[in-house]
Chains A and B, each alone.
Chain A
Amino acid sequence: MSPTVREIIARLGKFTLIRAVLLFLAIIVAVYLTVIIANLGGQLDEIRKSQIRYEIGQRAFGNPAFRDMAPEAVAEMLNELAETEFHRLGMDRPFFPMRSFEYLWRALSLELGRAERLSSDAGSRQVRNILMERLPVTLALFGTSNLVLFFLALFAALFLSRRYGGFLDKLTIALAPSSAAPGWFYGLFLILIFGAVLRILPWGGLVDAPIPDTRLTYALSVLKHMVLPVVAIVLGALFAEIYSWRTFFLIYSSEDYVELARAKGLSSRGIDMRYVLRPVLPPILTSFLLVLITMWMGQIVLETVFHWPGLGSVFYEATQANDTPVILGVIVIYGYLLAATVFVLDFIYAIVDPRVRVGGGAVRQ
């Protein structure tokens, strides 16, 4: 009998579990690599030590005994205290392997201690709070723009696949190279036209200067601010995606089962939905995954250009302010976000492709 729903869920569960484990292993290796690169010149240790000295210094002020000592004596005492503290934390042990794993664990759990200069809007100096505060803002922009891109490209590609050789088709082929430029690049021009010259859309930022009071006006203002960034992101990849997906459709619509569907008398709309769109989804998802990966990278500059207070701009501020813990924190968070993107798309892939859902035969080595 055909596999019951329970079996399908069990198979999907097993499939996604294995994917999740493999992805998590990948994140560990990626972050470990980052930690190693970061500490090649011993920077990580410097930061850690300066943070410890700072804490010791804070504690020392509280203690009245120090207040009346001569300044050199105080400095010398603090140094001593710092040295014992370093020893206690085993800072003098060799970096490999033990301490590197310790850094790895701290990085993975995002406890990177205090930022050197930056602080979150809520005033906290903890790296994790700074990042967590900015995460939803980035996700909002990233999510909307890529959903718009996906559906716009999908239906444009489907529409074009039936007009092979038509004017619109040739136009797309001519425009496809426009996606060579990333989103932030179009952002600059959009700001130039709509912000500077026409002055009808805000330059950037999340919301109007005097924060609107009601929730509705606040949301509207945010939407208004999102228009340009979303258009920039979409323009950065739209035509290349339409071109490549329209090619997928063309190749798949010359498959034998589409010929048979046409022979069976299905209307072209019927064929598109069941015979072209569904079988083509898996390769489209794979190609969209690659787009998302490059999108994440483009996010940094785009947010900077649009002053969009997300992870990207905090990363830029961190580089300007030379704030290493925050830089490390953002890299780790991006690692998680990339892994999440890969996982989500893999999961959708498993649902869409029956071979995985129903379990194709084992692969012969």
Chain B
Amino acid sequence: MMRKLNQKPKPIADATAAGPEKASGPLLKVEDVVLYFTATQGVVRAVEGVSFELAHGQSLAIVGESGCGKTSLARAILRLLPRNVATYEGRIFLNGTDIMKFSDERFRRDVRWVKISMVSQAAMNSLNPVIKLGQQVAEPLLLDNRTDKKEAFERARQVFRIVGIPLAFLDRYAFELSGGMRQRAIIAMALIANPILVILDEPTSALDVLTQANIMNALKKIKQELRLNFIFITHDIATSSELADEVICMYAGQLVEHSTADRFYRDPLHPYAQKLMASVPTLRVYKKPEFITGQPPSLLNPPEGCRFADRCTKRFERCREEPPLFVHGDGTVKCWLYERG
């Protein structure tokens, strides 16, 4: 029932990507990205040197408890930095080009909402209350006169059909839409500029179960048909498995494990990931969930050595030093248990 997207609109201002299929290296390569904020009590070390790669056509889920830095990582990639940013370093390669070196203006013109777009966490009031929906969705195409008005609105109608919003909603206002519809409008807005990577930050956490499932179906369809890559950020482990080919687990601002979906959801490597999986209640098979004692460390002055040490049952004396990222099978894990590889 979803009209197959016959022709893909000509990629616009296509300076970097030479079309997803032909590129050799990974779609996205993140190296030692660091992001600190200044708060009244001191410097919050939200993202502490995260590195990973994302191949073409692969979708990545980033999971972790609240305050582990997953949203900050997404903002770092899309360079959406708040006023109180303290340090912002590292390298981000998009199809081989380091977009961290781009000037803000070039980043705005060539990357943000051209190559990478985002569906933000607070979808409920991410729509401008005083402007009609169609205008807001088509807006990115009208910037720097990338396309004319007619083609922009045609594209808007296309993405509305893809995410399943009745076309009549184009000239309605945000307050006339239900939660589910608003969320779909935000997703449509992210697709409008035909990006190659879409970051989804808790897209459905505020919605009811059926609407959430519907939106997950829509995202899966988009993933297959438009061959889009997703980075899916959520604290809900079960929902993350809906869209994940690979999984990254974050804890206290650091990447503690990066492995394939099969490995992570069946038999995760890192002790924290294991505990996390154990604490998720399952519907169909009965298993008694466990909980993790204690609380995540404060990001103002994080502890020395492994940050999960004081909550980890498998702690031993090596854990006093900070473990590097060990390669283990086709994943990586930040834990001394895997020192021998």
Residues of A within 8 A of B (CB): 1-2, 164, 255-257, 259-267, 270, 274-275, 278-279, 352-355, 358, 360-361
Contacts and interface: CB of A to CB of B under 8 A. Distances in A.
B113 A278 contact: no
Contacts of A255: 125
Closest 8 CB pairs of A and B: A256-B122, A278-B130, A260-B126, A265-B113, A256-B126, A257-B128, A265-B108, A264-B140
Contact of A257 (B117, B118, B127, B140): B127
B2 interface: no
Contacts of B125: 255-257
25 contacts: A2-B168, A2-B171, A2-B172, A164-B83, A256-B125, A257-B125, A259-B80, A259-B120, A260-B189, A262-B80, A264-B112, A264-B117, A264-B139, A264-B143, A264-B189, A265-B113, A266-B139, A270-B143, A275-B128, A278-B130, A279-B129, A354-B129, A354-B130, A354-B175, A358-B173
A1 B168 CA distance: 6
Contacts of A354: 129-130, 173, 175
B12 to A, nearest CB: 12
A279 B131 CA distance: 9
Given A259-B80, A358-B176, A264 B126 contact: no
Contacts of B113: 263-265
Contacts of A164: 83
Nearest to B130: A278
Interface in B232-274: none
A162 to B, nearest CB: 11
Interface in B87-118: 108-109, 112-114, 117-118
Which of A1, A259, A260, A267 counts the most B-chain CB atoms under 10 A from its CB?
A: A260
A265 B143 contact: yes
B137 to A, nearest CB: 10
A1 B166 CA distance: 11
Interface in B112-165: 112-114, 117-118, 120, 122, 125-131, 139-140, 143
Contacts, number: 73
B231 interface: no
Given A2-B171, A260-B120, A265 B140 contact: yes
Given A274-B131, A279-B129, A263 B122 contact: no
A164 B125 CA distance: 24
A273 to B, nearest CB: 11
Contacts of B108: 265, 267
A354 to B, nearest CB: 5
Which of B114, B125, B131, B186 counts the most A-chain CB atoms under 10 A from its CB?
A: B131
B126 A257 contact: yes
B78 interface: yes
Contacts of A274: 128, 131
A360 B122 contact: no
Given A256-B122, A257-B126, A354-B173, A263 B78 contact: yes
Contacts of A278: 128, 130-131
Contacts of A361: 175
Nearest to B186: A260
Contact of B128 (A261, A352, A360): A261
